[in-house]
Copies of this chain bind each other. A is one copy, B any other.
Amino acid sequence: MVPYFILIYSVIIISLMVIVYLVKYTFAQDKGTTEMQEISTYIKEGAMAFIKRQYKTIFMLSILALFLIILSNYFGNTSKDSSTAISISFHTGIAFITGAFCSALSGYIGMYMAVNSNIRAAAGAKKGLNNALQIALKGGAVTGLAVTALSLLGVATLFLLYGGGSGNDTLIKESPSLLVGFGFGASFVALFAQLGGGIYTKAADVGADLVGKVEAGIPEDDPRNPAVIADLVGDNVGDCAGRGADLFESTAAENVGAMVLGVALYPIFGWKGILFPLVARALGIVASIVGIFTVKVKDNNDDPMKALKSGFVVTSIINLIILYFVVNNMLTGALPNGGSVNSIYLYGCAVAGILLSYVFVIITDYYTSITRKPVKEIANASETGAGTNIITGLSVGMESTALPVVCISICIFAAYKLSELALPNIANAGLYGTAIATMGMLSTCTYILAMDTFGPITDNAGGITEMSGAPEEIRNVTDRLDACGNTTKALTKGYAVGSAALATFLLFSAYLDEVKRILGKPLDSWFSVDIGKPEVFIGGFIGAMIVFLFSSTAISAVGRAAKYVILEVRQQFKEIPGIMEGTAKPDYARCVDIVTKGALKEMILPGIIVICAPVVVGMLLGKESAAGFLMITTITGVIMALFLNNGGGAWDNAKKLIELGEHGGKNSEAHKASVVGDTVGDPFKDTAGPSLHVLIKLVSTLTLVFVALFS
């Protein structure tokens, strides 16, 4: 076991070194003109003020959750003696705190790097596209590495501390299920980070637009608009801090889930089956580092998106090679009824996962790209007004769920069957295949995360050059990066949904293993979740409804928080004379403050709904009903997230397409209609959609942690 841990910790140390190098590289870059620096300082201060207050709220909620975890694990475990109950409560609680802390730290790092890279990317645009691209991507890479390395460090270390390294069979087999608290802590923080950040970013955006563009008639990113800084801050807190926490949670929860499933195959793989997810994750980080350093554009006319995509392909290919050796090394052994494990089939599962991530990127690109039919149709429909624009966008969003669902289904089925071929006549063998596929899909996670954080950095760089009145040629560079960033943001959302879907099937199986453990049944038995039973049907029915209710509250929260912004800006225009003439400065900080308060207030209700619903269902209707809830919430949540993300992305780009001159160009009637579509799409793709990814995984980890409470 020791060499594997040396490998894991070496990768963590390498990641740390690369992070230090990247930070140094980024901070050594030119910080641009004084105007740029001034704006950047406002953004930085606003972002930090938000995250400080948000973390305070999340901290209090976490303490409450911790309390409940300890109580539920103590009183729920009636079948065990009191010292075991105390030990489980204690271990799960510690894991929860660690997970929550690491998740928060990931979000913080993501935001810190983004607010420091944006100005440097803006300033670097002077030296050309490649220079700006490098700064933005490397700034994003810090987040990607920090998030995945932290997740690996947390899970590996807790596993060791909880007895995974003891050599004692019983301890090794018990420790993964003590780690579920880590996943829950991570999802808990991620939910509020994504929800609060998502509400903040869109409230500021919608509010700034409505009061600036519509009421005062000033352009976007105009420094006279008091809400403009809040808008730029929003990209950082929503996309960086939010998505950072989201993907931290994915990697954490899925690692833990896969390890729990590994326990079931202990008789065959031994501890290697449990450790496999961590090793695969570690080597995936290495592959991503290589991928990141290959990204380059030749000159200013080169397509930055092509460069980023080719980096993704490089990362995927390296992972394909690495995973072959890891699977062949770790997932072997003799079968109890003779013969040995057919590892090549297990490798097939990993390949299926990697392919799925690639297919997801292609499908998302199709539905949200400016050059493809769906976006063109929406732009076309804008000619007959906002009504037809909305109808077409909704229709495109709903249609876009079909192919991803089919692909996920094929991947799960293939992984399941391949794994059964690899492990003939072994109970529950198929499930482990889905775990391997998930590891395959997540092997490119670091690279994806770097690409994702690249988005808000370039978005902010665009805003800074615009506001500081930088010359045309620099703005051209940042505009092109910004458009590219919009695409990467859409792609990573697709990726996040896909991995969430795979992950939940995995976490669901882990949940069933936990149930068996609690009921004292052997792990190779089968616990059935029969949807023909009314309590399971009802659990599922309520679960699907929660997805709609949650989306409703998240979307309406944006509207309510945006109202605060509108009122505040109107107030400032009245109180501070000379803003519109440019002789007086608006009070940016007050506006930031108002959105912060509004967003944090509004994130509570949807958060509480999601956390309480599965617990109430489990307590009233039992474990099997909670499992039904879990599965149907996942199914509906994945589809709804696809609908919201892709619909929102398509509307956004339909507007862009018209702004590029199609259908009458800017300020035409078609453009006005497309702005309505974009306004609707914003809370879809940046608030409700991404929060749903977290919701899906949160429900899984939550039921895992509270299963002892269920009747």
Let me know if A537 and B412 touch, CB within 8 A.
yes
Is there a chain B Cβ closer than 8 Å to A603's Cβ? no
Let me know if A384 and B210 touch, CB within 8 A.
yes
> Given B391, B416, B542, B632, which contacts A679 in the complex, CB threshold below 8 Å?
B391
Let me know if A541 and B409 touch, CB within 8 A.
yes
Is there a chain B Cβ closer than 8 Å to A551's Cβ? yes
Complex CA gap A530/B536 in Å reads 10
Let me know if B559 and A381 touch, CB within 8 A.
yes
| Residues from 592 to 643 in A contacting B, C-beta threshold 8 Å | 627-628, 631-632, 635-636, 638-639, 643
Let me know if A391 and B680 touch, CB within 8 A.
yes
Complex CA gap A636/B540 in Å reads 10
Residue of A399, A528, A635 with most chain B CB atoms under a 10 A cut-off = A635
Let me know if B628 and A538 touch, CB within 8 A.
no
A528-B532, A534-B412 known; A391+B540 contact, CB < 8 A: no
Query: Which candidate, A228-236, A258-266, A400-408, is the interface stretch facing chain B?
Result: A400-408
Let me know if A405 and B545 touch, CB within 8 A.
yes
Q: How far is the CB of A211 from the nearest CB of chain B, in Å? A: 9
Query: Which candidate, A31-39, A108-116, A505-513, is the interface stretch facing chain B?
Result: A505-513
Let me know if A549 and B398 touch, CB within 8 A.
yes
Is there a chain B Cβ closer than 8 Å to A392's Cβ? yes
Is there a chain B Cβ closer than 8 Å to A142's Cβ? no
Let me know if B632 and A385 touch, CB within 8 A.
no
Is there a chain B Cβ closer than 8 Å to A676's Cβ? yes
Let me know if A401 and B631 touch, CB within 8 A.
no
> Given B532, B548, B566, B638, which contacts A402 in the complex, CB threshold below 8 Å?
B548
Is there a chain B Cβ closer than 8 Å to A430's Cβ? yes
Complex CA gap A473/B392 in Å reads 41
> Given B386, B537, B635, which contacts A505 in the complex, CB threshold below 8 Å?
B537
Is there a chain B Cβ closer than 8 Å to A544's Cβ? yes
Is there a chain B Cβ closer than 8 Å to A102's Cβ? no
Complex CA gap A636/B679 in Å reads 27
List of B residues within 8 angstroms of A310 by Cβ = none
Is there a chain B Cβ closer than 8 Å to A395's Cβ? yes
Let me know if A632 and B399 touch, CB within 8 A.
no
Q: How far is the CB of A624 from the nearest CB of chain B, in Å? A: 10
Q: How far is the CB of A707 from the nearest CB of chain B, in Å? A: 15
Let me know if B398 and A548 touch, CB within 8 A.
yes
A386-B676, A387-B680 known; A628+B392 contact, CB < 8 A: no
Complex CA gap A433/B385 in Å reads 51
Is there a chain B Cβ closer than 8 Å to A359's Cβ? no
Is there a chain B Cβ closer than 8 Å to A180's Cβ? no
Let me know if A405 and B531 touch, CB within 8 A.
no
| Residues from 618 to 677 in A contacting B, C-beta threshold 8 Å | 627-628, 631-632, 635-636, 638-639, 643, 675-676
Q: How far is the CB of A410 from the nearest CB of chain B, in Å? A: 9
A398-B551, A548-B643, A676-B676 known; A512+B541 contact, CB < 8 A: no
Let me know if B636 and A544 touch, CB within 8 A.
yes
Is there a chain B Cβ closer than 8 Å to A527's Cβ? yes
Is there a chain B Cβ closer than 8 Å to A413's Cβ? yes
Let me know if B527 and A529 touch, CB within 8 A.
no
Let me know if B398 and A555 touch, CB within 8 A.
yes
List of B residues within 8 angstroms of A206 by Cβ = 387-388
Let me know if A210 and B412 touch, CB within 8 A.
no
Let me know if A540 and B631 touch, CB within 8 A.
yes
Q: Which residue of B lies closest to A214 (CB)?
A: B385
Is there a chain B Cβ closer than 8 Å to A198's Cβ? no
Is there a chain B Cβ closer than 8 Å to A348's Cβ? no
Q: How far is the CB of A650 from the nearest CB of chain B, in Å? A: 12
Complex CA gap A637/B666 in Å reads 39
Complex CA gap A541/B384 in Å reads 35
Residue of A398, A399, A632, A676 with most chain B CB atoms under a 10 A cut-off = A398
Is there a chain B Cβ closer than 8 Å to A553's Cβ? yes
Is there a chain B Cβ closer than 8 Å to A394's Cβ? yes
List of B residues within 8 angstroms of A405 by Cβ = 541-542, 544-545
Residue of A385, A534, A638 with most chain B CB atoms under a 10 A cut-off = A534
Complex CA gap A542/B541 in Å reads 16
Let me know if A631 and B531 touch, CB within 8 A.
yes
Is there a chain B Cβ closer than 8 Å to A683's Cβ? yes
Is there a chain B Cβ closer than 8 Å to A246's Cβ? no
Complex CA gap A627/B391 in Å reads 32
Interface string of A371-393 (1 = CB under 8 A from B): 00000000001001111101110
Complex CA gap A411/B548 in Å reads 21
Q: Other than A388-B679, A397-B552, A528-B528, give 7 A-B pairs with Cβ distance below 8 A.
A: A214-B385, A387-B675, A394-B555, A413-B534, A526-B530, A540-B632, A545-B639
22 contacts between A and B (CB under 8 A): A210-B384, A214-B385, A385-B679, A390-B679, A391-B555, A391-B559, A391-B679, A395-B552, A395-B556, A397-B552, A398-B548, A402-B549, A408-B541, A412-B537, A434-B534, A505-B534, A505-B537, A526-B530, A530-B530, A537-B631, A540-B631, A548-B643
